[in-house]
Structure 1
Amino acid sequence: MGNKKRLIQKGLTDIFPKDIDTFYDLFGGSGVVSLNVNANNYILNELDTYIYNLYITLKENKPEVIIDHIKNCIKEFDLPTKSTNSATTNKEEREYYKVNYTKFRSRYNESKNPLDLFVLMNYCLSQTMRFNQKGDFNMPFGNNRFIEEKHGQYYIDFHRMINNDNFLITNKSFEDFGIHSFKESDFLYLDPPYTGTTATYNENGKWDTKNDEKLLKFCDELSEKGIRFAMSNAFENKNVRNEMLIEWCNKNRLNVYTFDKFSYHAYGKGDANTTEVLITNYK
């Protein structure tokens, strides 16, 4: 969740330092930020077990295996191969595909085959990964589909990068990374759950304001050691301001970059009133 690809297109990684020894992506998510940063070494970290297992599945399986699996599932369950928005399909067609998607989702929830997650991610609403308390995938059908020329290339690029000797995948909390393990030549990117929004991390009590406080303290320690970081976050969501984050930035005189007129769908239906920011401790 978050779709940092669009922020990258607006210049997110252009703000990053150019002289990075090891790039730490501590809240890895889709991994798209790591794919768009130049560094000597990479640490892609993800605490969420489901996402981490997707990394490992893509690392251990050749992209063509995953692509063939997706295509076979599309054929078996008759999932759409065209757009299913209201301009291209009628209500009956959308309902038909919705039923087929739900059947496939049920199969995944019974088998928990990680390869099936790649299918679900191509067809679910907002391409968002979300699970209920039982561990079942519960995102509904969305107006998405698998486009081999586009998504297949993503899998190929990701597989190639994470199999390089300079790329390490980890499954930790940010707190498990000791400050002493970082060097001044390293760079950390932090994309934590945004307080006041709905994301996989926020659900089922996984992330709260106490975690926010720990993360800000972690960042303070980075600054004290002269270690550079950048944090994506939101100052405001649906007219609710994150006063703690704003006060922390002001108190520490941190640099704040905004992405003007950026439409951020991950916050929910409609155009939520958000202020997407990138916070850095360097210029």
Structure 2
Amino acid sequence: MHRTRKISFLFVLPALLGYCVIRVFPMLSSFYYSFTDWNGYRPDVNFIGLENYVKLFHDPDVRNSIIVSLVFVVASVAAINALAVLFAVLLKKAGGLIGLYRSAIFLPIVISPVAVSFIWRTMYSYDGLLNKTLLALQLSTEQVGWLTDKSLALTSVIIVNIWRSTGFHMVIILAALMTIPKDLYESSDIDGCNAWQKFRFVTLPLLVPGLTVSIVLATISSLKQYDLVAVLTGGGPVNATQILSIKIVQDAFQYNLNGYASAISFVLLFGILLAVVLQNMILRKKEVEY
């Protein structure tokens, strides 16, 4: 038995070493650099303690990025899961065409986020499909700056994130929906429940485990989102879409503040962990058994 474990460990060792090199070592080194003034280039590194962490909590750009990130996450997670539940419930009634509809809604998540961003950036442009359609239907009298107007840019980016992510979360909800016994719906029919009552008192409570997974994954994905925002707006206009991931990359590679960027990245990591723990604590309490 002992020999078998050694052999098994040897098979796992290459993957474990690769994971440590690609994941663990960069994370630990980044944590160390968060306590230094390293600029990413010079060989000498000065240890400055908690100075970076104190600085970031007094940095107005970081506060702005936190607010923008919260708006982005809350709006995205709420809309993605609401649409995922809606599509899942409708697809369950689609019969033999469920595979076709599911594939069509799931398709955007398969496309590269960079490709999705370029497609939507073209649609959002002044001469893009969206403005041409609004002008043709006389719903607008002038071209709208979807990505250049400070009041519209964040909403426009959130819409792209929702469009791309909803299909993936719909599949999670649909899988949870398929596990609900038909007997419960038959019992509710006998009790005279209408469609809304069956959804509220039967479907929704039993969807909570699936919703928990979906909400947690959507939160993590939205908090660490980078590609869509970087391609669509680059954090502009006037930092209106500068989420934390954009701020981290800008500080690290544009302003050569790698130590400071590392500190912000660990604040983001702590925020993600806190959000996941709180969501699990709240949602697990709402789970019911049948």
TM bucket (normalised to shorter chain) is: under 0.3
Specify which structure has the higher proportion of strand.
Answer: 1
Higher percent of residues as helix: 2
Normalised to the residue count of structure 2, the TM-score between the two structures is 0.24
